[in-house]
Structure 1
Amino acid sequence: MKDSLASASGWYEDTRWRIARHVTLALVGVFFLSTLREGHSWGDDFAQYLRHADNIANRASYSETGYIYNPQNAIVGPEAYPPGLPAALAPVAAIFGANLSAYKVACVFYFLIALLVAARLFAADLSALNGWICLAIVGFTPAYWEVKDGIASEHLFLPLWYAALLVADDWYRRQRVFGSQTLHGILLGGLIFLACATRSVGVVLLPAVFVCEVLIARRATRVGVIALSSAVALLLAQRLVLPASGAGYLEQLRGTTLSSLLANAWADTTSFSLIWQNGHWSGVRRIAGAAFALLGAFGFLRANLPRPTPLGVAAAGYFAVIVIWPSADGLRMILPLLPAFVFYLLLGIQSLTSVAIVAFRSAKERRFAERKPTTQFAFAGSLGLLVFSLASFGAAYSVADFGPIPTGVETPAARDLFDFVRNHTRSDDVCLFFKPRALALYTGRRSSAYPLGTDELEFWRYAKSIGATIIIVRTDAADLAGEDQTSEMLAPFPSRDLEEVFANSQFRVYRWTPPATDVRKMAVQAVEFAAN
């Protein structure tokens, strides 16, 4: 009878928390969808993804996006992106065309799936209460709310990343399989491939599985061998079918220096505190972030010592890669790690209270503590974290901008520019612009980015090498110097061969007719003209 009552109580408890998780997930979805903003920022990764998606939907050449890759400014983006996100967005492109809101809805849907999958992964180590708190914090943090209006690969990468880790965790820690070991290995390999096909950094899952084979299984398992073999085979097939996919990423590593490594390590480490941004008091966020980082580190060590977990191995590998990467874009780079950080933070609270109770109570009380180690203290700590988080989120949203995005590709000035280029330039014109992929998407003109630096000779040499005839510059660059790395390039190099054909409050368009003279001579003429 007692066993039946205990079983019924456990079922009721599980059902109650399951309902709480689903209600919270629904609230996150409603909040995100009801606050989608019009427009899109100037970050033009989205433009290349949409062109790829449109090409898939219309069975056109995948790599024909109109973007001319500039190896002298490789940080803008690769020749072609991996096909994961474009393939997922292709049905949206086929039905809704260039409707940005439709793509944003799809990205919110991917994020909600990620929350479900991550909650399932964390459930084995967190109490039901802490599992719900983790879902609430990750779901409502402004860190994800702010990026919901950007069409980016992170949205799809999140569910694939955590799904792969969930399948790996089921095998390496719990010896559970989906169907059979062979089928489980194929499933894991397929998820690893999809993660890599969405973001190239997903490749860290391959060595993560190998490390799990060595340190967790301590032998070559059928699941691990099949997973690695199938993932590598699929990646090779992708490379053969789409050789340009991801090309150009390695060239970005040329900019890696010791100073960039240190800057990235600092930016990526401190950006975890942005989960608790409040819009008012950055000092409170930083202090709390430092304390949470210590608790999170404690939780990470407790979970991964003496034997690591698939999540711990993959998270460490991912963090190492983004530190090496030359682009110091702290928050965006660590977005896939934020759920894991909150998980380790809550695990740290659970573990620390357990250790404290066992250490400071008498032997008799210690026996009780071992049976129920986190009942009161852990509850208070977790509840305190939830209250602090919701207070921070409320403060941040109280000053958040819920209106149309004030800058970017759908401002009146940008639309006027795109209309002019689309309607008053030749179809074979080649353009130089600071956001070439956006220009190519909205105008249908082949476009490239400026070379980095302010060397006039190099500028004109590159312009001539790609056959550039249209040069577009920003007249408001002086006010936006911190917005883009190429801001110092956004003033026209004077030349007698430039004809201004369009101007508005933010942009000027020049038609360039290069003479047959030597490029070096043109640069000298440009400098002389500027001096006069």
Structure 2
Amino acid sequence: MGAAGIWCMRVVGILQARVTPTRVLLVLLAAFLLFSGLGLHDGHDWGCDYAMYLLAAKNLLSGAPYSYQIPVLTFEFPHGANFVLHTPSVGYPLLLAGGLALFGLDFVALKLVNLVFWCFGVLGFYLQARKRFTPAVAVVGAAALLSLHSMFMFKQLLLSDVPAAALLAVALWLFDSWERDRSLGRLTLLALLCGFIILMRPVYTLLFPSLILALLLGWWRRGGGLSRPGVALETGLLVAVALLIQAINVHFSSLGNDYLGHGLTIFRETPLKEWVSLKLGLVGNEVVRLNVLLFGSSFISSSHAVLLGLIALGFFPRLSLRRIAFMEIFVLAYLVAIIILSPWGLHNRLTLPLVFPAMIYLFHGLEQSVAWARRLPFVRDWRPERLLLVGSVLVLAVMLQSNVHYMRSNWHFNPDVVLKPDFQQLVAWIRRETVPGEGVFFDKPHPLVLFSDRPVFRVRFDPRGGAVPPEPRLAVLSRPQLGSELHARHLRAGFTRERYANEGFVVLERGP
């Protein structure tokens, strides 16, 4: 071998020694934060959730009652199921309170918090995947999760779903590591983490029943009696933390209980045949939602179908009593719960928690495919680890091709409406023309409360056409609402005088 060949071998050796999977992951995380952070836009859309979280966070910081000035919304569903939304669970407002204390109402800084949590979720996935597969495969999976088009869109919104899903990935890794050493301290940390996830998103309430069932199944599989002191201690710890979290949730918000209750109301009030047909349709809808989150599109192409098939291949064989664990129990219970109990049907926010487990199951399905492929003569001598890595790189290539395409098509996505001049002019006028405590009507109450610091009520009307108390003297309409049924109801209720108008909004005052 010549001098050049020897030099090349030395360079490769140095790179192999220094370019470890963990270092590659850290570079990917830094690149993700830089790329995504530079693409963050100021402001927000009309959604009431983010403003509700911010109002609760402001109340926590100021010492005001938790529900102070947070509007009450009533969503009406078929068959008499009404969903009342008032105060959110306290977990996400606690996170936002820290951001508000440091940066004020800076949307870019607050959105950056969600990006940091997503990185924690990817790190949790990597730690779990490197034990189940290899560090190299885990890095490839992490790269896929950092390239999701869905996260490219979610980053522009202040939603509790992102940190909750990310912390779920950390919790799944913690359970895997706890199973290896059975440390009571690690189990306590896992229980507290699951509790905080539930405080952010009550739809994760099934975490504790899943944990307890996984714990009991683990003891049973190891041949230990379920009456042994260790079982009682571990189960008691989980039950105690679960009750504490439920007590905190009930104190701050009944949102999770309302969600469950109204899903059951729809079940009771809907004809069985219609209800079964609806829920079977939601099963297919959930597959489409997962396709949207992983590949950026509701269209399931042939390559997407193959990868979804690998997820199923990795998931369903693990549901046997010999293999089922915390992750499988939670995923199955969560899927059944949101399909059966959700009063809304399914959407991307409810499906987001399944992204990290789906990537694990995809690689398990790929692992099973590699085992079958090695029966073929021409690949029999290949190392399974290398085949799995090659397969994972192909998976990454498919996901990158799809996600990058949709990122490019939505490159300038900016949902902001609340920082636009017309809305800020409206806010300034309301603050100038009303006294503190004087309310107005507006069908997007939460953002207006957040910026104006005035009570805002979503308009409700009685059958006779009048507005239901409280009855402010002012009502706000957006320009597209002029001439609508809502405008006509305002006129019938006595809001006949125009007090203020700009390019986007009109303020009506109740006439004499």
TM value normalised by structure 2: 0.83
TM superposition shift of 1:39: 1.8
CA contact (8 A) 2:75 2:83 kept: no
The answer to whether the 8 Å contact 1:190/1:230 transfers is no
Q: Contact 2:152 / 2:407 at 8 angstroms: preserved in 1?
A: no
Percent identity between the aligned chains? 22
Other structure's SS at 1:511 match: strand
Give, in angstroms, the shift of residue 243 of structure 1. 5.7
How far apart are 1:59 and its partner, in Å?
2.0
Retained in 2: the 8 A contact 1:473–1:508? yes
Check 1:321–1:450 CA distance in 2 against 1; reply closer, same or farther (3 A cut).
Answer: farther
State the SS of the aligned residue for 2:492.
coil
Query: Aligned-pair distance for 1:297?
Result: 0.3
- Note the C-alpha offset of 1:13: 7.3
Q: 1:136 to 1:75 in 2, by over 3 A?
A: farther
Aligned match for 1:396, one of 406, 409, 414: 406
Contact 1:58–1:94 (CA<8 Å) still a contact in 2? no
The match for 2:4 is: none
SS at match of 1:501: strand
Q: In the alignment, which residue of structure 1 is the partner of 2:106?
A: 99
In the alignment, is the contact (CA less than 8 A) between 1:264 and 1:330 conserved in 2?
Answer: no
Q: Is the 8 A contact 1:169 1:309 kept in 2?
A: no
13 and 375 in structure 1: CA distance in 2 versus 1, 3 angstrom threshold: farther
Q: Which residue of 2 is the match for residue 484 of structure 1?
A: none
Aligned to 2:90: 83
Structure 1 residues 373, 459: closer, same or farther in 2, change over 3 A?
farther
Q: Output the CA distance in 2 between the equivalents of 1:118 and 1:490.
A: 51
Structure 2 distance, partners of 1:217, 1:440, is 52
Are the aligned partners of 2:295 and 2:304 in contact in 1 as well (CA < 8 Å)?
Answer: no
Give, in whole Å, the separation in 2 of the partners of 1:275 and 1:492.
40
Which residue of the other structure, out of 424, 429, 440, is the alignment partner of 2:438? 429
- Report SS of the residue matched to 2:456: strand
Cα distance in 2 for partners of 1:251, 1:493 equals 33
| Kept in 1: contact 2:42–2:106 (CA 8 A) | no
Q: Deviations over 1:452-478 (max 9, x none)?
A: xxxx634856x3233344333333259
1:201 maps to which residue? 203
Cα distance change on mapping 1:78 and 1:13 into 2, 3 Å: farther
Equivalent of 2:259, from 249, 253, 258?
A: 249
Taking the TM superposition and a 5 Å limit, the aligned residue runs for 1:114-513 are 114-172=121-179, 174=180, 176-177=181-182, 180-181=183-184, 183-218=185-220, 219=226, 221=231, 224-239=234-249, 241-242=251-252, 248-250=258-260, 252-253=262-263, 254-255=265-266, 258=275, 261-275=279-293, 277=295, 283=299, 285-305=300-320, 306-323=322-339, 324-358=341-375, 360-361=376-377, 372-376=383-387, 378-402=388-412, 405=414, 407-451=416-460, 457-458=462-463, 460=465, 463-476=467-480, 489=486, 492-495=489-492, 497-499=494-496, 500-512=498-510
Name the residue aligned to 1:529: none
Aligned partner of 1:399: which letter? S
CA distance in 2, matches of 1:57, 1:298: 48
By how many angstroms is 1:192 displaced? 1.8
Structure 1's 338 and 345: CA in aligned 2 closer, same or farther, altered over 3 A? same
Letter in 2 for 1:194: F
- Secondary structure of 2:384's counterpart equals coil
Q: 1:510 to 1:72 in 2, by over 3 A?
A: farther
Q: Is the 8 A contact 2:88 2:252 kept in 1?
A: no
Residues 15-30 of structure 1 mapped to structure 2, 5 A cutoff = 16-30=20-34
- Aligned partner of 2:71 in structure 1 is 67
The question of whether the paired residues in 1 share the 8 Å contact of 2:440 and 2:476 is answered with yes
Secondary structure at 2:468 match in 1: helix
Flag structure 1 segments of 5+ consecutive residues without an equivalent: 1-8, 480-486, 516-532
Distance 1:491 1:260 in 2: 35
* Separation in structure 1 between the aligned mates of residue 251 and residue 94 of structure 2, nearest angstrom: 14
1:197 and 1:14 mapped to 2: Cα distance? 41
| Aligned-residue offset at 1:408 | 2.3
The letter of the residue matching 1:87 is L
Instruction: Tell me, yes or no, if structure 1 residue 56 matches structure 2 residue 72.
Output: no
Aligned length: 477
CA 1:13–1:118: 2 relative to 1, 3 Å: farther
CA contact (8 A) 1:52 1:65 kept: no
Inter-partner Cα distance in structure 2 for 1:64 and 1:438: 14
Cα separation, 1, equivalents of 2:200 and 2:415:
29
Q: Distance in 2 between matches of 1:165 and 1:222?
A: 22
Q: 1:119 and 1:491 mapped to 2: Cα distance? A: 57
Q: CA deviation at 1:143?
A: 0.6
Q: Structure 1 pair 394/89, CA: closer, same or farther in 2 (3 Å)?
A: same
Q: Deviations over 1:406-440 (max 9, x none)?
A: 55222223222222222223433333322211121
Secondary structure of the residue aligned to 1:471 is: strand
Instruction: Indicate conservation of the 8 Å contact 1:65/1:440, yes or no.
Output: yes
Distance 1:506 1:263 in 2: 39
Residues 104-155 of structure 1 show CA distances to partners (whole Å, capped at 9, x for unaligned) of 1112111111111122122221222221111011111111111111111112
Distance in 1 of aligned mates of 2:317 and 2:19: 29
Whole-Å separation in 2 of the counterparts to 1:230 and 1:159: 24
User: Distance in 1 between the 2:313 and 2:417 partners?
Assistant: 42
- Report if the CA contact (8 A) 2:208-2:238 is conserved: yes
Counterpart contact for 1:297–1:348, Cα < 8 Å: yes
Shift of 1:171: 3.0
1:33 corresponding residue in structure 2: 37
Are the structure 2 counterparts of residues 247 and 135 from structure 1 closer, same or farther at C-alpha, using a change threshold of 3 Å? same
Q: CA RMSD in A?
A: 3.2
Instruction: Rate the CA distance shift 1:234–1:141 in 2: closer, same or farther, 3 A.
Output: same
Normalising by structure 1, we get a TM-score of: 0.80
Report SS of the residue matched to 2:476.
strand
8 Å contact kept, 2:50–2:158: yes
Deviation at 1:311, TM superposition (A): 1.2
**Cα gap change, 1:13 to 1:299, in 2 (>3 Å):** farther
Q: In 1, are the aligned partners of 2:172 and 2:327 still within 8 Å (CA)? A: yes
Query: Which residue type is aligned with residue 198 of structure 1?
Result: M
Report the secondary structure of 1:416's partner residue.
helix
CA spacing shift, 1:493–1:54, aligned 2, 3 Å:
closer
- Measure, in 1, the Cα distance between the counterparts of 2:141 and 2:208: 27
